[in-house]
Amino acid sequence: MLELLRQPWPWYTSGIVIAFIMVLLLFFGKSFGFSSNLRTICSACGAGKTVKFFDFDWRSQTWNLLFLVGAIIGGFIASEFLSNGEAVQISEATIRDLQQLGISSPDGMQPEEIFSLSAAFSLKGFLILLLGGFAIGFGSRYAGGCTSGHAISGISNLQLPSLIAVIGFFIGGLITTFVLLPLIF
Amino acid sequence: MKGIKFIIAGILFGIVMSKSEAISWFRIQEMFRFQDFHMYGIIGTAVALGTLATFLIKKFKLRDYQGNPIVFTPKEKSVSRYLIGGTIFGLGWALTGACPGPMFVNIGFSYWAIFIAIAGALAGTYAYGVVRDRLPH
């Protein structure tokens, strides 16, 4: 059993569990949306004193911060106890394309060229992570949600705004993939 | 300890995102290059089941565990904020290979470099709060 769990799980198990988590949170009287935590953290750090957008009762969002803490613990459990240490099984075509950019084939979960500490503290790696993160934070609040809030919860509730947001996610993702990454690497 | 159920839900989320490799930069690249069904399968299954569940919750007017009606707040009508905000988000998603949830799951994987992206995400959220009133919504 443990051997089976240690292999990568097929996509449908993940889809089923994510839908289950969404429903579970609804039955807990909450809604599934991860990026709200970023606003909550800003507010908890005192951003509400200077910026009105962060002046709200962030303690009402404690449940979502606990979900965030759980997500970190879940990642730790997966890497410590449920991992067989194999590299991510991406398609040959992706490996070839990324090699042309100078990114070597997967050795673990993340590319060495960005996530190893030496890469992350080179100017290029640092800016990729910092500016990428900045765009994620800015964009998710501007769009009012991220993958969980729009792509999963929003589209499940047949919300046209969420579909527009997801189309935006792809416009941005394709620009990075086919324009920015070849310029950067 | 009322909060423990949220921690457990989060743990489940962290494990499943890890084990289906949805926290991997490589998988996000594969998705944006349309070279494998994997990520589409994950999101597609979640949305299909989520749509069914949302429909059933509304149809049978189900209540949460405290007996309150489960309400779905419709998103505000707009195109610009979703399209522009979504595009900015997408630029960052493909760069870091992690949306907000997976960013934090990566800490559990000891990919410490992700803290740079998290710092960026907090700065981006703060910046949005500062310039919010001057942006088209």
* Residue from the list B45, B99, B128 with its beta carbon closest to the beta carbon of A16: B45
Question: Count of H helices and E strands in chain B?
Answer: 6, 0
Q: What is the ipTM of this complex?
A: 0.97
Please tell me the predicted confidence (pLDDT) of residue A15: 97
Residue A43 has pLDDT above 90, yes or no: yes
The minimal CB distance from B104 to the residues A72, A78, A164 is found for: A72
Instruction: Please report, to the nearest 10 degrees, the dihedral formed by the alpha carbons of residues A12, B89, B127, A129 taken in order.
Output: 80
Which residues of chain B have a CB within 8 Å of the CB of A164? Answer: 79, 82-83, 86
pLDDT of A1 higher than 80:
no
Q: What is the mean pLDDT of each run of 10 residues along chain B (137 residues)?
A: 93 97 98 98 98 97 96 94 98 97 97 98 98 96
Q: Nearest CA of chain A to the CA of B124: how many Å?
A: 4
pLDDT tens-place string over residues A102-118: 999 999 999 999 999 99
Residue A118 parent element (H or E): helix A117-120
**C-alpha distance from B60 to closest chain A C-alpha (Å):** 14
Cβ–Cβ below 8 Å for B18 and A128: no
Q: What is the reported pLDDT for A85?
A: 84
Q: What is the dihedral of CA A39, A41, A45, A50, to 10 degrees?
A: 0
Round to whole Å and give the CA distance between A145 and A38: 11
Q: Domain extents for chain A?
A: 1-83, 116-185
Share of chain A above pLDDT 70, in %: 100
The whole-number pLDDT of residue A2 equals 81
Q: Is B112 helix (H, G, I), strand (E, B) or coil?
A: coil
DSSP letter (8 states) at residue A47: G
Tokens encoding A78: 């997966």
Q: Measure the CA–CA gap between B119 and A20, rounded to whole angstroms.
A: 30
- Give CA separation, A181 vs A28, A43, A184, B95, in Å: 41, 33, 5, 8
Structure confidence at residue B86 (pLDDT): 98
Best interface-test mutation with B: which of A45, A103, A141, A174 has the largest number of B CBs within 10 A?
A: A141
pLDDT at A84: 86
C-beta neighbour count of A127 within 10 angstroms: 15
First-residue to last-residue Cα distance in chain B: 40
Average pLDDT score over residue span A136-151: 97
